[in-house]
Amino acid sequence: MINRELKLFFTALSFYTRLPAPAAMRDEPIGLLADAIKYLPLIGWITGFVAAAVYLLANFLFGNALAVLFSMLAGLLLTGAFHEDGFADVCDGFGGGWTKDKILEIMKDSRLGTYGVAGLILLLGIRFIAIIQVTSDVNAIVILGIFVIAHSLSRFSAMIVASNHSYARSSESKAGVAVAEKSKAANLIVAAIYTLLPLAGLIFYTGESTIAFILIPVVLTSYYLGYYFKKWIGGYTGDCLGAVQQITEVVIYLSLFLVWKFI
């Protein structure tokens, strides 16, 4: 049982990041990915911790703005821009297509179009400024909490969309095979625990229960994106889930800033 759970974790780690799995834990990813998805928020812990560590070191050396850039770069390198690529494909597909078949065809094209480029520039720009705002005048532990929450909660949001909607393609991709088998309730519960622990930890450390209000815009954003994808293509694709992760991560940073400013 323990060996299987380790394989599931390392399957998620090797699929959703560039980090390699130990030789003893290597297996055929497709066979395990449907259950390995429960560790996706835990992968967010890892990417969030790395992003925070890079930010803190770079902030000490160069200041806030460059620290945010280096932190974002670390995240891109660690994941291979896996989710950003999905977001760009969604921008191209939904920006240039007016039917389900056309949208799916454009999203499958490996070339990046105008909508994808524009969308990525705007997304990364908003994320950059939002992180600068939310990391100002807080200590290292809070910064660690911010990054881990943003990375884990945004990944859980993608899981929720996958669990509530159907896979839109008839021809399967690796990610599609996994999430097309609806996330089991047990997997969602495990993932929810990994998601809520950092949030609870930050609330406990700061004593500010109002931080929990960030869940409202995250839920609303996830619900709307799921509805939007279903309306246009009858469900989701792996690219759609990447877009959900990217958009809700930005929403988390913006929501934290608003909570601390107004509540």
Reported as half-sphere exposure (CB side, CA atoms, 13 A), residue 101 has a value of 0
Residue 19 lies in a domain: no
pLDDT greater than 80 at residue 78: yes
Q: How confident is the model at residue 4 (pLDDT cuts 50, 70, 90)?
A: confident
Residue 3 lies in a domain: no
Q: What is the mean pLDDT of residues 3-15?
A: 88
CA dihedral 223, 225, 229, 234 (to 10 degrees): -10
Kindly report the backbone phi and psi dihedral angles of residue 236, in degrees, each rounded to the nearest multiple of 5, phi listed first: -135, 165
pLDDT greater than 50 at residue 183: yes
Residue 178 lies in a domain: yes
d(CA 145, CA 142): 5
d(CA 141, CA 134): 13
Residue 147 lies in a domain: yes
Yes or no: say if 111 and 85 are a contact pair by the CB < 8 Å rule: no
pLDDT in tens, 126-155: 999 999 999 999 999 999 999 999 999 999
Total number of domains in the chain: 1
Between the CA of residue 102 and those of 146, 212, 235, what are the distances in Å?
38, 40, 15
pLDDT in tens, 14-52: 889 999 877 666 555 556 777 889 999 999 999 999 999
Residue 86 lies in domain: 40-262
User: Both tokens of residue 16?
Assistant: 């959703």
Residue 27 lies in a domain: no
Residue 33 lies in a domain: no
CA torsion sign, 165 to 169 to 175 to 180? positive
Residue 32 lies in a domain: no
pLDDT greater than 80 at residue 177: no
Residue 35 lies in a domain: no
d(CA 33, CA 30): 5
pLDDT at 21: 79
Average pLDDT over the chain reads 91
